A and B are shown apart, each in its own frame.
Chain A
């Protein structure tokens, strides 16, 4: 009787343990593993990105470091402390005296583009304070032009929508939006609006694209100047692109797919994102042999295009890594 009772108690205790501990065990098991996304073999994708670990000059360059960090985190992987430190150190070394960051060691001219990329890498590694952020603000503010736009670098001063976006993005990231002449910058950015809706990379002639539409919408939002009419026209433009229009004959592009999603979210139309179109497109770009993604259909994979694909999968909830969308900081 005692024996039976004892056995029952042991069995009950074991059952209780299983019920209580199972979720924690499952969670532990999931740590550092590739959660299943049936369409893609992230184990291969990981191996593809990790090829660069074999390089003595890892992480090579500002963009490549960003590729490595974003992609692995998007897939739910952890980056070991040694490599994190190597990336943070390389990123710190890319910061020049004027506060700007360079693309690699061979180049000493900091620009707003690589500054933005470097800041994202540090944010992903939770290492924002590893660099001099005050200098970053000074650098970005120094690129401000009389037309309200921002230039690329002290050497390439001419304003463009893209460089203005990067400057505002950087300034927002370092709490430096007070350095922006909001009225002028808003006016400058609105000059890129197109009749058919959306924004283009050039003022005047030319057509809208998703990248420019996202960049303009981001700046307008950041400066508190997004209005309903602009947002509505942006959606009208995006509806005609292959990222929302299934009948579009335009060839979809990787970057444009990402910016179409981001643009919709920026104009508060995130519910209009066509996740199925995006996912099918990613499937077509996926290279089964190595797990990477190509920049165009029929092209081989590169770390850059693979990272962009992971950004898209993150945006549509298919990357599973739970990566913070730091680009929206």
Chain B
């Protein structure tokens, strides 16, 4: 109840009139997570798939007068989290594992500076956002957000594969826009999704079924053994990067390059890395990306198929966050039986079309009007004519929905109106709909049958002063 009231107040504050920068105008801010879901692991002692690294984008809109303006200067935009602080993160057992192991995984990096948690780019859990001219938004990249237990059973929905209490995978970032004199111009809240995948659930069992303890350490040891059975012969559990006489922590992308880590080639392991006694292999970099080896192995391993899941090609949640998180939750999920594989292809298709050789590239990802290249979706996509975007960038990381702008003079990010990918409005997950419902709900708008305020922003008056209160599909390219 208390949180609902706070959220409502925040929503009202988002519409607060400002009389500082230019008295005739008010300001609105619309924020989103870039990807719609980031993965996290409950331990970092053995190996690292991905670090805590979330990205928030916010577009600030000057409202009033003839035309709205997307603000690029003269304001400060900051964020903080409703569910976690520096203190709670440092007290969290799992996040403590990150703090302890991060300097070994990323030599030179300090995850805590002057008592404050810092992400890999230096961003804290509460910090300022910087203006980015490509996305025309204020961005905080590399925020070390991490799923936590809030005590609110409605929010703590994610099952912990290690048996701990459930956690909240849909955190709330509160965004505040201030003018130079510190007056609040606008606020909003957005979901910052970060969740555990299904990897541990399967691998702990796998370890125990092969005589290893059903613990992360046991799983790491058995994973090392399995890895040594591939052509590399490398037992990753025998790699000792910090010379403490124990295996791990190992960063997968040292050998298997990962565009999600900003890599186009494997960087190699830290200087001073040793092998434990008994190791009979030598370290070598792989030409294959992490995404490639991981997906290809799981979809083609007869052991995986015959002993664990013959349908792993379609069961994305075996690995990606589905443990009651349901990462894929947006408008597509809500409308009909569209599956992950309709946009991305199932694993057999992805391997057959060699998509994974160049993962995360714009060229291999779906757009609004086409599934990934080589994938025959069972459903028709959106019309390229109606939903065309003008400007896109960064072909090496993420698809066009994330890295594109459209509408009017191509100033708006697709997700500013439509919400974050995988959680597009109207989402089947209520928190994803709060922002749009607040913005459109503040206007007495008229909606076509079947649509409401939780839909993509289509009420002109949200941004255009006294233009229209009827929801419609705005022009996507002008």
- Chain A residues near B (Cβ < 8 Å): 51-57, 60-61, 63-64, 67, 103-104, 106-107, 111, 113-114, 117, 152-153, 156, 158, 160, 162-163, 166, 200-202, 205-207, 209, 211, 250-251, 253, 255, 294, 296-300, 302, 304
Contact = CB atoms under 8 A, between A and B. Distances in A.
Contact of A162 (B307, B314, B346): B307
A64 B314 contact: yes
Nearest to A253: B205
Contacts of B346: 61, 104, 106
Interface in B346-397: 346, 348-349, 352, 378-379
Nearest to A294: B324
B322 interface: yes
B314 A298 contact: no
Contacts of B352: 106-107
Contact of B305 (A64, A67, A113, A255): A113
Contacts of B309: 304
25 contacts: A53-B337, A54-B337, A55-B337, A55-B339, A63-B310, A64-B314, A67-B311, A103-B310, A107-B348, A107-B352, A113-B305, A152-B302, A153-B302, A162-B303, A162-B306, A207-B208, A251-B205, A296-B323, A297-B159, A298-B166, A298-B323, A299-B201, A299-B323, A302-B315, A304-B309
B313 interface: yes
Contacts of B323: 296, 298-300
Contact of A160 (B302, B349, B378): B302
A206 B310 contact: no
A211 B336 CA distance: 35
B326 interface: yes
A301 B311 CA distance: 14
Contacts of A64: 311, 314
B211 interface: yes
B236 to A, nearest CB: 19
B234 to A, nearest CB: 20
Contacts of A158: 302
A253 B210 CA distance: 16
Interface residues of B, number: 38
B306 A113 contact: yes
A207 B317 CA distance: 27
Contacts of B310: 63, 103, 113-114, 117
Given A152-B302, A160-B306, A163-B302, A207 B324 contact: no
A201 B310 CA distance: 16
A202 B210 contact: yes
B349 A55 contact: no
A104 B302 contact: no
B314 A61 contact: yes
B209 interface: yes
Interface string B326-337: 100000000011
Nearest to A202: B210
A207 B306 contact: no
Interface centre among A114, A117, A294, A302 (most CB of B within 10 A): A302
A111 B309 CA distance: 14
A107 to B, nearest CB: 5
Contacts of A211: 307
Given A56-B378, A299-B159, 11 more contacts: A55-B337, A61-B314, A63-B314, A104-B346, A104-B348, A160-B306, A211-B307, A296-B159, A299-B201, A300-B322, A302-B317
